[in-house]
Structure 1
Amino acid sequence: MRWLDADEERAWRALRRMMIAIQSRTAHDLAAAGLSEPDYEVLSTLSERPGHASTLGEQAAKMGWSRSRLSRHATRMEARGLVRREPDPDDGRGCYLVLTEHGLRTLEDAAPAHLESVRRHVIDRLSSADLSALERIARKLEEPT
């Protein structure tokens, strides 16, 4: 077993505290709009797709989720009228996840406050050099080992 040295331990703990703090703050702000972070992620990524639709598998891959996680979450979002499922004509077992008009309006209503939250808690607190370093580090750490 390789224990963390003092510098590694400080960096690891700082990363964990940062991730928890930012997620907590932005989630709290987003909840005021009636959405969870996963709701917002589904709505925003669907809004970027042609026709505001994606197969369940493509959408799960884009979000870094398992198909089963997305399917369960989509069921809850369907009940709220934010998304709907449509059969995939090319795959009898598959379906498309489609952003509804209500889902699009909900996203459009929530987006300004969410963007302000992201700016307040992250973007506006960092220099452009910090943002570049953060992006570089984040891309490196999101790659599988």
Structure 2
Amino acid sequence: MDHRDSEPASSDGEPRWLDDGQQRTWRAFMLGTTLLLDRIDVDLRRSHGISAVEYEILVRLSEAGGQLRMARLAAALAHSRSRVTHTVKRMEGAGLVLRTESPEDGRGVIAQLTTTGSKLLATAAPSHVETVRQYFVDLADQEDFAALGRVMDAVADRLIADHPERELRR
């Protein structure tokens, strides 16, 4: 039976506890993810004066052709609208993005990447990708890295099924 189709609890209602190996892997994933995201944030702040969330907003806007509705941006980042609004407002003050009313309906707000934001992204991207390589990509062989990609795609597929608005993969 495919583990993705299994029930959340055993037939007697008891949780399907993780075995020792699964628990070690889960804990390694959680610790590694936490430390990696912290390292990325520290490096971006130190080298470019932006947080990892601000960098991700610049990336998402760039990949979307330079603009996105704020609601879509918040969904894609899995952050609350108020948190994204606060972050984008701060970025707008720094000249990295611009917020405008949606020309389609006048109700929605569009976040647009500015020239300054594009330049910062272009400057930050090389050092960011080096951090990602040094602390993530280059630590695994190709087969393990490909397997991790398949696992995380399966995780994303499962979670996006409940929230299709979060799908931004190409």
**Could you tell me the TM-score, scaled by structure 1's length?**
0.89
Query: Which residue of structure 2 lines up, in the alignment, with residue 49 of structure 1?
Result: 64
Distance across 1 between alignment mates of 2:22 and 2:136 = 23
Q: Kindly, what percent of the aligned residue pairs are identical?
A: 36
Distance across 1 between alignment mates of 2:31 and 2:113 = 34
Matched, 1:108 2:122: yes
Matched, 1:6 2:20: yes
Distance across 1 between alignment mates of 2:152 and 2:143 = 14
* Offset from partner CA, 1:39-78 (integer Å, 9 cap, x none): 000001111122x111112222333333333222111111
Consecutive unaligned residues in structure 2, runs of 5 or more: 1-13, 163-170
Task: Return the offset for 1:113.
Answer: 0.5
Higher RCO (C-alpha under 8 Å, 6+ residues apart)? 1
Partner secondary structure for residue 119 of structure 2: helix
The answer on whether the counterparts of 1:26 and 1:121 sit within 8 Å (CA) in structure 2 is: no
Query: Which residue of structure 1 lines up, in the alignment, with residue 81 of structure 2?
Result: 67
- Decide which moves more: 12-21 or 111-120: 12-21
Count of aligned pairs between the two proteins: 144
Query: Which residue of structure 1 lines up, in the alignment, with residue 72 of structure 2?
Result: 58
Query: Which residue of structure 1 lines up, in the alignment, with residue 109 of structure 2?
Result: 95
Distance across 1 between alignment mates of 2:41 and 2:81 = 23
* Offset from partner CA, 1:98-136 (integer Å, 9 cap, x none): 001111111111111101111111111111111111111
Query: Which residue of structure 2 lines up, in the alignment, with residue 79 of structure 1?
Result: 93
Q: Give the greater-gyration-radius structure (CA).
A: 2
**Could you tell me the TM-score, scaled by structure 2's length?**
0.77
